[in-house]
Structure 1
Amino acid sequence: MTTAPILPNAITGLVLAGGRGQRMGGRDKGLQPFAGQPLAAHVIARLRPQVGALLISANRNRDAYAALGADVVSDATQDFAGPLAGMLAGLRAACTEYVLTAPCDSPYLPDDLGERLCAALSDASSHAPHVPHAPYASHAPVTRPLAAYAATAQGPHPVFALLHRSLADDLEATLAAGEHRVRAWLARHKAVQVHFGDERPFYNVNTLDDLPTDSPRAP
């Protein structure tokens, strides 16, 4: 089975900025200044060319995030339920078939993240087997992956992910059941792990001391 390539206009970029910033003293991480701009602005600049639309998941300072040039969505609950809750908000709000997620504190985000995740997901879908169908069934269902995420030699980076919008209902049920682990949810859906050779693009800022001293190159 040949699967059509996933084009940028079929993807909404989602910047995940809905956390408490606990390791940053409660500061809103995505709005911390770096090289003259908020951290989230660097992520947006690198993500925007890879997608057809853009959203920011934020649970506070919505006006400040909206000023960065994207629509803002918030979690369905106000308990700061983690990245999966932000992903769900993005999947519900997106008008495209796919959502490409990245955290707000990754100013070196790969400029080929979307391209590589899309290629891997399309390739995996092309090789997905048909499931034998029962007699008289009108169609044979196809088992195919609906998500892909980045990894390096240092480990997985599951919040750098490509998600099909049909995952939204399952994700909502997963959160309702109390599961908040991104890797566990992706593993259950047999998400495709895509290996990147360089760890640097996935550097993320957890504390004020983690803010880099060098400026990210232009995407």
Structure 2
Amino acid sequence: MSERTIPAESITGLVLAGGRGQRMGGVDKGLQILHGKPLAAHVLARLAPQAGALAISANRNQDAYAALGAPWRASVLADTLPDFPGPLAGLLAGLRAAHTEWLLTAPCDSPWLPADLAARLGHAALAHGAAGADIVTATTTNAAGVVSLHPVFALVRTSLADDLAAFLAAGERKVRAWYARHKAAEVAFADERAFYNINSLQELAELERA
């Protein structure tokens, strides 16, 4: 990519796999198999060329996730807050653990995430005003012209960890509400399929057959 962006070595990629998997009947979503590999492994493979380090947010089956991340030396991070409080808890663990300036997040059920996700979000971060943006997220527009925000596909400054910790300590849980506290930017992507989330075992079975 010719446009100025954030180098991969300044980014830690985080796979968000710490949820309850309720829409999949409580199974550990990231470990479900698609085309011979766990979903989280597909996401790790997509993130690996885009980041200097990798991590996995997981609250169950941490040994299995550690084995998945082994080829990339990905660390496995558990939430520091109890009772599966949502993706912001996984984000906080990633912000605390990262040794880079930026954290790039993606959910574990998005096996086709864009190969240029980091490059395009990073370009927007640097281009957004004199000091740049603190958080950059992705959007897509469907055939009807409806714009969708994909808030857990995000590039976030790791210096925001303390602010997020305070936000969660106050009982807040909404991703977009926390983003609204900061200088944020959005990047429009053309391919909706790249952000497709597999939300049920039936969907997974249909994709496996296809």
Q: TM-score normalized by structure 2?
A: 0.90
Q: CA deviation at 1:213?
A: 1.9
Is 1:206 matched with 2:199?
yes
Contact 1:59 1:78 in 2 (8 A): no
Separation of aligned partners in 1, 2:153 and 2:120: 11
Separation of aligned partners in 2, 1:6 and 1:159: 19
RMSD of aligned alpha carbons:
1.6
Separation of aligned partners in 2, 1:29 and 1:101: 16
List structure 1 runs of 4+ shifted beyond 4 angstroms: none
Separation of aligned partners in 1, 2:88 and 2:184: 15
- Tell me the percent identity: 63
Alignment correspondent of 1:100: 104
Separation of aligned partners in 2, 1:57 and 1:121: 24
1:197 equivalent among 190, 193, 196: 190
Separation of aligned partners in 2, 1:59 and 1:109: 23
Residue pairs, 1:68-217, within 5 angstroms: 68-69=68-69, 70-124=74-128, 127-128=129-130, 144-153=132-141, 154-211=147-204, 213=207
Post-superposition Cα deviations, 1:110-130, rounded to whole Å, max 9, x if no partner, equal 110000000000111xx33xx
Q: TM-score normalized by structure 1?
A: 0.86
Contact 1:35 1:215 in 2 (8 A): no
Secondary structure class of the residue paired with 2:90: helix
Alignment correspondent of 1:48: 48
> Which consecutive residues of structure 1, in runs of 5 or more, have no partner in the other structure?
129-142
Q: CA deviation at 1:78?
A: 2.4
- 2:134 maps to a residue whose letter is L
Larger radius of gyration: 1
- 1:209 maps to a residue whose letter is Q
Secondary structure class of the residue paired with 1:159: strand
Alignment correspondent of 1:64: 64
